[in-house]
Structure 1
Amino acid sequence: MNNNNLALKAFLSGPVMPLSRVPDPVFSSGAMGDGIAIDPLNDCLYAPCAGVVMHVARTRHAVTLKADNGAELLLHLGLDTVELQGEGFDALVQEGTRITEGQPLLRFDLDKVARGSKSLITVLILTNGEGFQLRPLTTTCVDVGAPLLQLSRTGSAPATAEPAGSGGESRGHVRVALHGGLHARPAALLRKSAQAFSSRAELRFAGRSASVDSLVGIMGLGVGEQDEVEVICRGADSEAALHALLETLATAGAEPTPQPVTPLPVAAPRGAEEPGVLAGVCASPGLASGPLVRLGALHLPDDRGDSQPDEQHRALDQALERVRGDVRATLQQAARQGHADEEAIFTAHLALLEDPGLLDAADLLIDQRVSAAHAWHRAVQTHCGILQSLGNPLLAERANDLRDLEKRVLRVLLGNDGEQAIAAGSLVAAQEITPSDLGPLVRAGVAGLCMAEGGATSHVAILARAKGLPCLVALGPQVLELDEGRVLVLDASNGRLEYAPSAERIAQVAMQREQREQARQQQRARARQAAVTRDGRHIEVGANVANPEEAAEAFAAGADGVGLLRTEFLFLDRQQAPNEEEQQHAYQGVLDAMGESRVIIRTIDVGGDKHLAYLPLPAEENPALGLRGIRLGQALPQLLDQQLRALLRVAPIRRCRVLLPMVSEVDELIAIRQRLDQLAHELGIEERPELGVMIEVPSAALLADQLAEHADFLSIGTNDLSQYTLAMDRCHAGLAARIDALHPALLRLIAQTCAGAARHGRWVGVCGALASEALATPVLIGLGVQELSVSPGLVGEIKARVRELNAEDCRQRSQELLALGSARAVRDACARFWPHA
């Protein structure tokens, strides 16, 4: 049989049109390939030729076939029909099915699909155009089965990199520099890079390939660091897409390593274990003791295999969307609080929840009458098995993320959303503890975590370190055999779980913990006292808060004031902007909660990674470099004016300081000061609040002396200043751990800011995350910082740290740090210069 030339038959009845007339730029531009379209008059899609079904979309609106001559044909029913989530569609074939010409593929409800989508126009696309040619056989109305296209094999392949815009193909090879290879977060990064282009992209490695759209598919290739892969891009912008993906793959550091800390000890070999001790790997250091509690596992009910597919598809879709909503809420909270590690972790989780390979696997099982819960469980377990079989420890740990998502979705499907009651002070044991488990455990006040499996670079390990919760992993199955209620000692710093501790050992641990708690209590007891260095320099220690409730906590914790009130709390998670009265009431509540202390209130900073549903902003290629902070206030002056009027009305106004975010030049500050004066005059207000500038872009630091001439104070936001100085997105899924504000380049900008402010007698504060790090306290004092704004719970600790130091010694030694070459070198020097228990 000669397969070089095939006559493709009409797959629908209706008027025929060229792709150029299809009202969708992705199809009409030819970005996906050459083809043709039909506006259907019937309700069933038929096979244009014999072949094999390669793919059925999980929403059942599209089918991809592979013809016998190797051509790959996408049949996409309607435009924007993916939004219908399968409603109105019935797939009549499954992936891998051998089909004949004219065989029914999809049945659809003409009325429902027409009402729920942009158009019923259905396209046929040749997705692997190299070596093939399509020639229309008719341009009029056709009936199903009539000759439609001539598909010919040309016998030659195109060049590997056609010019962008030609709908061609571009190929390239690259050695993967991403730390740890292509596991979850690097795969999410690669997928995000590809989504900026219309071209379709795939990776090839070791004789296998995967679409860049599929995180699980990418991870399943088992690509390690320094492995060479081939990247293939097909579409109008294939060259640009190829360049971007090659650059992403060649850039080191996509997997965040833990923030620089003392190296964690590795477990001793199993054979070297002491009696009564399980050896593990330290994921988060610390010492704790308490009764053992096993974290309950979910149990699936029996599956009888008689489920109704439509009902189960809906159930899974609803459960997935609910979990996606929870993850998005976690992301928003992490963004508001500046927790970059949490953002990176849950960004990867969100991408996995949208992974087509994973979702299609579950949907295929549901089509076979498997229940939604069992289908989801089996799909996740299959993909976890793939990752664990590759022999890559990092990929095996990333399987834990999939199991976390499995558990979250199953809890919704099974109606088991309740949290297990766990007593405070317990040591929790589990096969693996997932990021979604951790929040309830922290709230319950558990003393430590013990895992049979897991790794020191797992996501839950990163989060446990951030929470200061001792955690051991890789303890082996023995930990799950220990009796509940038995009192154990978890010496995570030394990789030991002592399951038969003596009474003396338990008492010793209790004493050590009591000593640490006494130190914290002493810090809290003295937290209301001023923070003064040993040579008499006063450092104000304020708190970063987001609402009146947090302000009250900060005041009770001894904060000298509010160093940063993030006013976004008023604007986020609502359907309309707060009016002037609501804003004034909220700001007044913060002032009232702080007694006689001063409060710094930052004007709204949205845009970038924070979005308002009622304030649609234009899509930006680089949001962090776009319309955000004071730039948004300039673009929407009515929004800023309303906020400034509310701030002018608080009392007493002398206790209110206004802080402007994202200022990059002096004229911006002058314009806002003039506007503040004008609004105060209109309101009949004589007194003015102090007006300060956030130093969070390098230009502001370099212009600090000029800004200080017109500002009352400067406040350094080390989080944004780090990302803009180091050219690393702090919300990037793979670079969070490399954005270290103790980088000598940052320290030089801080020093220049303090020097510029001093020329005009202005004070400088730090409100970024660096202020909360005790290791950095002597550095900041030495560079000239006079105010530190920290998390409310750290006020006592940072004040105690200040009292240990000599400011002149800090000044002299800090100058030495400016000459170092890396953040790691700075941290090592700090540990030597200013040891801290």
Structure 2
Amino acid sequence: MYHGIAASAGVGIGHIVLLREAVIEYDKDKSVDVEAELERFKKELEVFTTNTMQVAEDVRERIGDKEAEIIEGQVMIISDPTLKTEVEAAIKSGKCAEQAMEEVCDTFIQMFSAIEDEMMRQRASDIHDIKTRFLKQLIGIHDVDISKVPAGTILVARDLTPSMTAGIVKENVVGIITEVGGVTSHSAILARALEIPAVLSIENCTTSLQDSEEAIVDGDKGIVITNPSREQVEEYEERYKKHQQEKKDLLAFQGMKTKTADGIEVELFGNIGTPKEAQTVVESGGEGVGLFRTEFLFMDKSSLPSEEEQFESYKEAVIAMNGKPIIIRTLDIGGDKEIPYLEIQKEDNPFLGYRAIRYCLDRPEIYRAQLRALLRASAFGDIRIMVPLVTCMEEIRSVKELLKKYMQELDAEGIAYNPNIQIGVMIETPAASIIADLLAKEVDFFSIGTNDLTQYTMAVDRGNAKVAALYSTYQPAVLRSIRTIIQAAKAEGIMVGMCGEAASDRRLIPLLLAFGLDEFSVSSSAILATRKAISEISLDKAKEIAEKALQLTTEREVFEYLSQNMQ
């Protein structure tokens, strides 16, 4: 049995097809005609871009718009003037197109890989995919045609890139296994869209698993069973039937209000990273957007996005919501997220340094463009502004003063906006938790960011394997902090939501309901399952579970107790 990351739910029984990576070799020492090599690069780039756009259109037709945007994102990367200019500069220095492309891509891969934010790190995987495909095109290496694999196939690869996943015929593939990747990787997103069970990050699976070997992929538990017994096959066949029925049952929650078993209503929102994803939230039954990350506007460019560019993006998202609320987080970037054109210096402790609201208040020309764009877009729907990483009252008061100033500017220019736009804070530090009662008097809403709140509360580096076990929302300190934040919001009568991973955790839902959480913001794919989980418990039962959980003293005790009550 092999253990990995459960990246796409469901079970699949079939036979393994190994996808081995081609060896990419070329002569780095060959002399080149610079002009001819530049022309070669230009022509190959045009072919590559056209082919990638065709893949995106195919994905749009077979899978959906959201998934096509993943491939289109690669077109944006390859079309970036910075990447193109740097490759051309390398060619002018005497390098062949292959070496130039490889070295420039590797620089960007290294940059994005160092970023803590999972969405931003995904850029590294995208660029690696682009690099590999482009080098194969230059050299003349042809990939295995995944669309031709037989029915009952379990694909095994080091990494199933978006371009490879896009070629899958879902009727033929019953499972996916890779050595790398996680739940937020683009391949995992595509696997979920195709409804193919996937277990990722199984070390050395391309060498330990054998071609044609029978296997079971358990995408619920993150395990792979090779050469299963008859009893195991029968057990998983029953699991498959049950899983298919559960999927049908979830459809009954489409379009329903989100409420507990005893009729207490809460709001269920979705998290997004691009304007186009807003439509996905609506289609998935979301009642609003609880977190719109704006970093994509800055990460996917070689220069600062203008006020007009930002305005158009926010306007697109708010119009797609058709009157439903959309909470937009201002730029959450800093020392751990390298964007060359921002020239942010590296720091010894980037998570405790120059980032998020600290950076924005220190760079008023950047913040002005974003806040004005948000105000202008608020004329088209229910936009709410959320400020990240607030640790003191001065920060939120400074933002409110800036908004007042920019409103006066827009008035003078005769530009429409919502003068009553709501402003809130993302509570994700112990400091904000401790002064939550004071912050609640200054803002219109709270949103609890459990990912960072857990990291800062437990003083743990999520990337450090030696202390990673301490990173858990089930820690009593974290749960008590969440309760304190919600109580502070309730005392002042302001809305309080949650946009971290904990919001969709079935074990934690009873506690969050008991504490009084008003709004759960989850990934679009988790909306219906979260609505179902909320509907299955009464508020009285939730309070009973919460009272007992808060008496427990260790993370393990809390986890086991909540797991028992989830059944």
Q: TM-score, normalised by structure 1?
A: 0.51
- Please, which of 103, 109, 117 is the counterpart of residue 321 of structure 1? 103
Report the CA distance shift for 1:331/1:808 in structure 2 as closer, same or farther (over 3 A).
farther
C-alpha offsets along residues 1-51 of structure 1, whole Å, 9 cap, x if unaligned? xxxxxxxxxxxxxxxxxxxxxxxxxxxxxxxxxxxxxxxxxxxxxxxxxxx
- Do residues 710 (structure 1) and 442 (structure 2) align? yes
Higher relative contact order, structure no. (Cα contacts within 8 Å, ≥ 6 residues apart):
2
**Counterpart secondary structure, 1:294:** strand
Partner of 2:549: 817
Does residue 1:689 correspond to 2:415, yes or no? no
Q: Is the 8 A contact 2:20 2:206 kept in 1?
A: no
- Find the residue that maps to 2:492 and give its secondary structure: coil
Correspondence for 2:65: none
**Kept after mapping to 2: 8 A contact 1:660/1:692:** yes
1:723 correspondence with 2:442: no
Q: Which of 250, 253, 264 pairs up with 1:523?
A: 250
The corresponding residue for 1:421 is 146
Corresponding letter in the other structure for 1:689: I
Is residue 2:264 matched to residue 1:537? yes
The answer to whether the 8 A contact 1:573-1:612 is kept is no
Q: CA deviation at 1:796?
A: 0.8
Aligned residue for 1:805? 537
1:45-194 pair list within 5 angstroms: none
| Cα distance in 1, alignment partners of residues 209 and 142 from structure 2 | 26
Structure 1 equivalent of residue 396 of structure 2:
669
Which one of 455, 468, 480 corresponds to residue 210 of structure 2?
A: 480
Kindly state the Cα deviation for residue 297 of structure 1 after the two structures are TM-superposed.
Answer: 5.1
Paired with 2:327 and 2:133, the residues of 1 have a C-alpha distance of: 39
TM-superposed CA distance for 1:712, in Å, is 0.5
Q: How does 1:189-200 map to 2 (within 5 A)?
A: none
Task: Tell me the C-alpha RMSD between the 2 structures.
Answer: 4.1
- Residue 754 in 1 paired to residue 486 in 2? yes
The SS at the match of 1:614 is: helix
State the distance in 2 between where 1:547 and 1:534 align: 34
SS at structure 2 position matched to 1:831: helix
Contact 2:271 2:522 survives alignment (8 Å)? yes
Identity within the alignment, %: 27
Q: What secondary structure does 2:262 align onto?
A: coil
- In 1, Cα distance between equivalents of 2:566 and 2:500: 21
Q: What does the per-residue CA deviation read over 1:80-137, in whole Å, with 9 as the maximum and x for residues that have no partner? A: xxxxxxxxxxxxxxxxxxxxxxxxxxxxxxxxxxxxxxxxxxxxxxxxxxxxxxxxxx
Q: Does 1:577 align with 2:304?
A: yes
Structure 1, unpaired ranges of 5+: 1-279, 354-403, 452-457
**In proportion to residue count, which structure has more strand?**
1
1:658 aligns with 2:375: no
Match among 475, 483, 489 for residue 743 of structure 1: 475
Tell me the equivalent position of 2:321.
594
Task: Tell me the residue number matched to 1:281.
Answer: 2
Q: Is the 8 A contact 2:116 2:337 kept in 1?
A: no
1:779-818 alpha-carbon deviations (Å, 9 max, x no partner): 2222221111111111111111111112222223223323
Verify the 8 A CA contact 1:654 1:689 in the aligned structure 2.
no
Q: Tell me if the contact between 1:654 and 1:690 (Cα under 8 Å) persists in the aligned partners.
A: no
Tell whether the 8 Å contact from 1:319 to 1:412 is kept in structure 2 after alignment. Answer: no
User: Which of 610, 622, 628 is the equivalent residue of 2:349?
Assistant: 622
- Choose the corresponding residue for 1:557, options 284, 288, 292: 284
Q: Give the AA of the match of 2:337.
A: K
SS in structure 1 at match of 2:242: helix
Count of equivalent residues = 480
Question: 1:447–1:470: 8 Å Cα contact kept in structure 2?
Answer: no
Q: Is the 8 A contact 1:606 1:612 kept in 2?
A: no
CA distance in 1, matches of 2:368, 2:218: 56
Match of 1:469 among 186, 193, 198: 198
Provide the C-alpha distance between the structure 2 equivalents of 1:746 and 1:737, rounded to a whole number of angstroms. 14
Q: Could you tell me which amino acid in structure 2 is paired with residue 543 of structure 1?
A: G
**Aligned counterpart for 2:369 among listed residues 619, 631, 642:** 642
The amino acid across from 1:780 in the alignment is L
What's the CA shift string for 1:552-603, capped at 9, x where partnerless? 1111111110000111111112122122221111111111111221000111
1:329-365 CA distance string (max 9 Å, x none): 76389725388xx89xx89xx9xx9xxxxxxxxxxxx
How much has 1:475 moved relative to structure 2? Answer: 9.1
Mapped to 1, the partners of 2:473 and 2:536 lie a distance apart of 22
Distance 1:661 1:609, change over 3 A: same
> What are the within-5 Å matches in structure 2 for residues 166-245 of structure 1?
none
> Matched residues in 2 for 1:803 and 1:565: separation?
26
Check whether the contact 1:782–1:811 (CA below 8 A) recurs between aligned residues.
Answer: yes
C-alpha contact 2:290 2:499 (8 A) present in aligned 1: yes
- Within 5 A, what are the aligned runs for 1:784-795? 784-795=516-527
Aligned partners of 1:653 and 1:736: how far apart in 2?
A: 43
C-alpha separation between the residues in 2 aligned to 1:289 and 1:440? 21
In 2, are the aligned partners of 1:283 and 1:465 still within 8 Å (CA)? no
Question: 1:337 is matched by which residue type in structure 2?
Answer: M
- In structure 2, the partner of 1:298 is 22
Q: How many Å separate the matches in 1 of 2:159 and 2:112?
A: 11
Query: In the TM superposition, what is the alpha-carbon distance from 1:461 to its structure 2 partner?
Result: 8.6
Deviation at 1:479, TM superposition (A): 6.1
Distance 1:650 1:476, change over 3 A: closer
Q: Is 2:352 the counterpart of 1:631?
A: no
Task: State the distance in 1 between where 2:261 and 2:280 align.
Answer: 28
Residue 764 of structure 1 aligns to a residue whose secondary structure is: strand
Cα distance in 1, alignment partners of residues 354 and 108 from structure 2: 27
Partner Cα distance (1:787, 1:547) in 2: 21
CA distance in 1, matches of 2:252, 2:167: 24
SS in 2 for 1:547: coil
Residue-by-residue CA offset, 1:41-67 (whole Å, 9 max, x unaligned): xxxxxxxxxxxxxxxxxxxxxxxxxxx
Aligned positions of 1:599-610 closer than 5 A: 599-610=326-337
* Contact 1:648/1:688 (<8 A) preserved: no
Shift of the 409–569 alpha-carbon distance from structure 1 to 2, 3 Å rule, reads closer
More helix by share: 2
Amino acid at match of 1:579: S
Q: Provide closer, same or farther for how the CA distance between residues 424 and 773 of structure 1 changes in structure 2, counting only shifts above 3 A.
A: farther
Alpha-carbon deviation of 1:436? 5.6
Q: What are the equivalent positions in structure 2 for 1:252-291 lying under 5 Å apart?
A: 280-283=1-4, 287-290=11-14
Give the Å deviation of 1:411: 5.6
- Per the alignment, do residues 413 and 796 of structure 1 end up closer, same or farther by CA in structure 2, a change over 3 Å counting? same
Q: Which residues of structure 2 form unaligned runs of 5+?
A: 33-93, 412-416
Letter in 1 for 2:141: N
1:482 and 1:624, CA in 2 relative to 1: closer, same or farther beyond 3 A? closer
Contact persistence 2:449–2:498 (CA under 8 A)? yes
Please give the alpha-carbon distance, in whole angstroms, between the structure 1 residues aligned to 2:306 and 2:24.
49
Change in CA separation of 1:419 and 1:601 when aligned onto 2, cut-off 3 Å: farther
Deviation at 1:661, TM superposition (A): 0.8
Conserved? CA contact 1:658–1:691, under 8 Å: yes
Decide whether the 8 Å contact of 1:555 with 1:594 is kept in 2: yes
Separation of aligned partners in 1, 2:282 and 2:226: 39
Q: Which residue of 2 aligns with 1:434?
A: 158
Q: Secondary structure at the match of 1:582?
A: helix
- C-alpha displacement of 1:711: 0.8
Query: TM-score of the superposition, structure 2-length normalised?
Result: 0.72
